Structure 1
Amino acid sequence: MSTPSLLDRTATGSRPVAGRVATEAEALEIAHRLAAQFAPGAAQRDRERLAPVAELDAYSNSGLWAISVPREHGGLQASYLTVARVFAIISAADPSIAQLAQNHFGYVNFIALNASAEQQRELFGAVLSGARIGNALSEKRNARDAKTRAHVGVFETRITAVDEARARVDGRKFYSTGALYADLVPVTATNAEGQVEVAFFDRHTSGLEVVDDWSSFGQRTTASGSVILDSAVLPRSRVVVGERPGGASSNGPVSQLLQAAIDLGIGVGALDDTLDYLRHRARPWIDSGVERACEDPLSLARLGRLATQREAADALFERAALAVDEADRQLDDETVDLASVAVAKAKVATTEFALEAAERLFELSGTSSTLSEFGYDRHWRNARVHTLHDPVRWKLHLLGNHLLNGASPKRHAWN
């Protein structure tokens, strides 16, 4: 029997108005509490591809999804250091749930940077009430399509005027993480003048269809599949003009910081499971000369290296978050450049830590740790899939080019 569609399992009915988080310390406390609730069912949700509807409602209803809303609109305007820490905490418990919020926070930042005062009032008001923002940015092209050489920043989705008050969008998106569970779906499209615009659709708008065709072996419950737009119409007031190419903007560093936070959390989750297994389940190797696996000298040496990688990744991650906060305050070329560089370093370190921790779990724990009852393979699958989001080889290129040639990182959502 085929796996039921996530679309059959996402009806939540009306949700209560989200709570308000008063301080950044409270945000971290709530994140730890929710992580403790999400972790026990993470393996089953991954194994059976169960939509995390109740967990996602608890997450957004907690008020955490609104903590970056600017103060002038009634929000906490939490630092990105705190926002990123929340992501890492949730990701260590279930990185699919963490990733579902990534685009939401990216668009909150986009709205703050690009929307009109009236648009900000409406959209931030919705977020403060508990609305979740999804995503319909990237497009997937068939490998046999001559246009397949177009890069990720080229959008064939089109937005056209219906009249002075309305606009129509047509196209197809993929990697639409969060759209299935969203209240608002931002669709990136190109207008007749070739300018990029973002249309904030209500999730159930006629002509907008979310398709559950995400078949990746990792991040299985993000439902990062397709959004199809067939003459979908919305008020022109819901269309935000995109960022100016090359302009100073914190949107790219913010997006990349949250990606690094998810990778850091995946590594922490894998390492935590490794430690638990070695303490309570693993057997010592026959030649180790010790009675317990947790005393194996070779395992201890490997764990020491993992501990070092974790601390190094965390330190670069925190430094990057502070640089993003500075860029968000200053919004000039120099601070945005420094933020992109700092985030690139963090992305390299968190990627390497996540993949290493997920791989070493099995090496140190032994054959029995591969049994399906534990679901530990999800750590590697999640790390491998999520770290592909932004190629580390290009982060290294960015860093080398900046170091040797003083080159500024290019301005887009992937830097």
Structure 2
Amino acid sequence: MTTYQDIHKVLDAENAAFAQAHIIQSDAEALEIAAQLSQQFKLNAVLRDTTRELPFEEIEAFSQSGLWAITVPKQYGGADVSSYTVAKIIALFSGADGSIGQIPQNHFYALEVLRNTGTDTQKQKLYSEVLKGARFGNALAEFKTKTAAQKHTQITQVTRGDKQGFEVNGEKFYCTGSLFAHRIPTLVRDANDREYLAFIPSDAQGLQRINDWSGFGQKTTGSGTVKFNQVFVDAEDVIVFDRAFSEPTLVGPFAQIMHAAIETGIARAAFEETLQRVKQARAWIDANVERADQDPLTIYEIGKVAADVRASEVLLKQAAHAIDAAKPHPTTENIAKASIDVAKVRAHSTETALKASSKLIELAGSRGSQRADGLDRHWRNARVHTLHDASRWKYYFIGNYVLNNILPPRRGTL
């Protein structure tokens, strides 16, 4: 186990400083930059996965490109791109490198909570940092509680010198992006069981980031443990969290569509790789054909995967449009519809990513198992990422909605 300070590459984040990033002006510009940058990140994706080399340089380029600020509202200087643009960009990067595609998800999630529950002063401060290139990680989940809903990390009002603020104590796990972050939005509870999101600087005294993520997939997401020992946080850096779900907001469906985009991107990349590998594979002896791409059963399997990948992409677009339609005037009803549309793609993309990545290895033949090619990374990334939520429960919520008109719960894990 190594601490963040032991890692051989040291981020500017350690000094809470960042250079002025490019500011993107439109959806079209965001998509153009994402297309170019994702192709660059694809070049060494296999090597990073094999050696678990954390992508510090790539993440710096990613945020400096302006892509990490694309959801900042226009009145605060951002492009405020559509949910569909965000989904397409995350899918692009996830196809290039499943780990890199996941890293900004919690950053955008924190910005969406800020949009809904932060004060104008808090928005001006934090959005300004993001426009300059700041990255937010996350410290939401806990590993040592009886259920995922339980949270032990506490926040307490304190006074230090002449400064009023809060103290945070606790421990978090699966803190995606925390090793690359300038701030770590941390989910905390007070003595009255109210939940808040504390945007804690990553170099705060008493905060420890531990590089101990050992999952067999999503190996370079910068996830791991974050510990808080009497960490002081300014009052202006703490925003209400629970109201994002007790009231009708788009925080839940927006969070979930990004997860669906990760899986959809992995599925598309695995499928495109399959087409190339089948061209190189040997035909099965019983097919009585010269090439694998002439094998009728291979062609049949390719057709099934092609239909599934395209279906996930269409469902992703439909869900994003539902979110954007509800955005101007969110209500209980249109939030529920958006949540159900997102649940549909989330369930479907889970199955499609696993199927497409498995079929890649199957149809590539024995050559597809060679470690140097890294074809298994798509399946490993998909399998680990899909564990965020159980697709079986998504089908339950969808069925209960269409059959009994029962609205789904409002939370970030639907």
For the aligned pair, the TM-score class normalised by the smaller chain equals: over 0.9
**Kept after mapping to 2: 8 A contact 1:341/1:399:** yes
Q: CA deviation at 1:375?
A: 0.6
> How far apart are the structure 1 equivalents of 2:353 and 2:5?
27
- Is 1:37 equivalent to 2:40 in the alignment? yes
> How far apart are the structure 2 equivalents of 1:253 and 1:134?
19
> How far apart are the structure 1 equivalents of 2:226 and 2:19?
26
Matches within 5 A, 1:61-140: 61-140=64-143
**Kept after mapping to 2: 8 A contact 1:213/1:223:** no
SS in 1 for 2:285: coil
Counterpart of 1:264? Answer: 264
Q: CA deviation at 1:7?
A: 4.9
Counterpart of 1:304? Answer: 303
SS in 1 for 2:371: coil
Q: Could you list the per-position Cα deviations for residues 95-144 of structure 1 after superposition, in whole angstroms to 9, with x for gaps in the alignment?
A: 10011100000111111101000000000000000000100011011xxx
**Kept after mapping to 2: 8 A contact 1:100/1:178:** yes
Counterpart of 2:51? Answer: 48
> How far apart are the structure 1 equivalents of 2:83 and 2:5?
31
> How far apart are the structure 2 equivalents of 1:327 and 1:165?
38
> How far apart are the structure 1 equivalents of 2:217 and 2:154?
31
Q: 1:195 to 1:43 in 2, by over 3 A?
A: same
Q: TM-score, normalised by structure 1?
A: 0.95
SS in 2 for 1:16: coil
Q: CA deviation at 1:275?
A: 1.1
Counterpart of 1:162? Answer: 158
> How far apart are the structure 2 equivalents of 1:236 and 1:230?
17
**Kept after mapping to 2: 8 A contact 1:340/1:409:** yes
SS in 2 for 1:319: helix
Counterpart of 1:373? Answer: 372
> How far apart are the structure 1 equivalents of 2:266 and 2:407?
30
**Kept after mapping to 1: 8 A contact 2:72/2:80:** yes
> How far apart are the structure 2 equivalents of 1:214 and 1:316?
32
Q: 1:298 to 1:5 in 2, by over 3 A?
A: farther
SS in 2 for 1:22: coil
Q: CA deviation at 1:340?
A: 0.5
> How far apart are the structure 2 equivalents of 1:12 and 1:173?
21
> How far apart are the structure 1 equivalents of 2:79 and 2:335?
23
| Structure 2: gaps of 5 or more residues | none
Query: One-letter code of the match for 2:247?
Result: G
> How far apart are the structure 2 equivalents of 1:56 and 1:322?
28
Counterpart of 2:149? Answer: 153
Q: 1:251 to 1:7 in 2, by over 3 A?
A: farther
Q: Greater CA deviation, 237-246 or 375-384?
A: 237-246
**Kept after mapping to 2: 8 A contact 1:135/1:176:** yes
Matches within 5 A, 1:277-356: 277-279=277-279, 281-356=280-355
- Is 1:60 equivalent to 2:63 in the alignment? yes
> How far apart are the structure 2 equivalents of 1:188 and 1:5?
21
Query: One-letter code of the match for 1:302?
Result: E
> How far apart are the structure 2 equivalents of 1:23 and 1:116?
25
**Kept after mapping to 2: 8 A contact 1:248/1:331:** yes
**Kept after mapping to 1: 8 A contact 2:362/2:368:** no
Q: Could you list the per-position Cα deviations for residues 293-315 of structure 1 after superposition, in whole angstroms to 9, with x for gaps in the alignment?
A: 22221111110111100111111
**Kept after mapping to 2: 8 A contact 1:6/1:223:** no
Q: CA deviation at 1:208?
A: 0.7
**Kept after mapping to 2: 8 A contact 1:165/1:237:** no
Q: Could you list the per-position Cα deviations for residues 231-277 of structure 1 after superposition, in whole angstroms to 9, with x for gaps in the alignment?
A: 00011111101232531010000000000000001111111111111
Counterpart of 2:217? Answer: 218
> How far apart are the structure 1 equivalents of 2:401 and 2:98?
31
> How far apart are the structure 2 equivalents of 1:121 and 1:104?
16
Q: What is the percentage of aligned positions where both structures have the same residue?
A: 40
- Is 1:22 equivalent to 2:22 in the alignment? no
Q: 1:100 to 1:408 in 2, by over 3 A?
A: same
Query: One-letter code of the match for 2:152?
Result: E
> How far apart are the structure 2 equivalents of 1:3 and 1:188?
24
Query: One-letter code of the match for 1:252?
Result: G
Q: 1:8 to 1:82 in 2, by over 3 A?
A: same
SS in 2 for 1:132: coil
Q: 1:58 to 1:287 in 2, by over 3 A?
A: same
**Kept after mapping to 2: 8 A contact 1:10/1:53:** yes
Q: TM-score, normalised by structure 2?
A: 0.95
SS in 1 for 2:239: strand
Q: Could you list the per-position Cα deviations for residues 199-233 of structure 1 after superposition, in whole angstroms to 9, with x for gaps in the alignment?
A: 11111100111111110000000122111000000
**Kept after mapping to 1: 8 A contact 2:4/2:209:** no
**Kept after mapping to 2: 8 A contact 1:246/1:410:** no
Counterpart of 1:144? Answer: none
Q: CA deviation at 1:287?
A: 2.3
- Is 1:208 equivalent to 2:207 in the alignment? yes
Q: CA deviation at 1:20?
A: 1.2
Q: 1:133 to 1:3 in 2, by over 3 A?
A: closer
**Kept after mapping to 1: 8 A contact 2:153/2:188:** yes
| Structure 1: gaps of 5 or more residues | 142-146
**Kept after mapping to 2: 8 A contact 1:344/1:399:** yes
Q: Could you list the per-position Cα deviations for residues 314-362 of structure 1 after superposition, in whole angstroms to 9, with x for gaps in the alignment?
A: 1111000111112222221111100100000000111111000011112
> How far apart are the structure 1 equivalents of 2:98 and 2:367?
24
SS in 2 for 1:409: coil
SS in 2 for 1:361: helix
> How far apart are the structure 1 equivalents of 2:364 and 2:267?
16
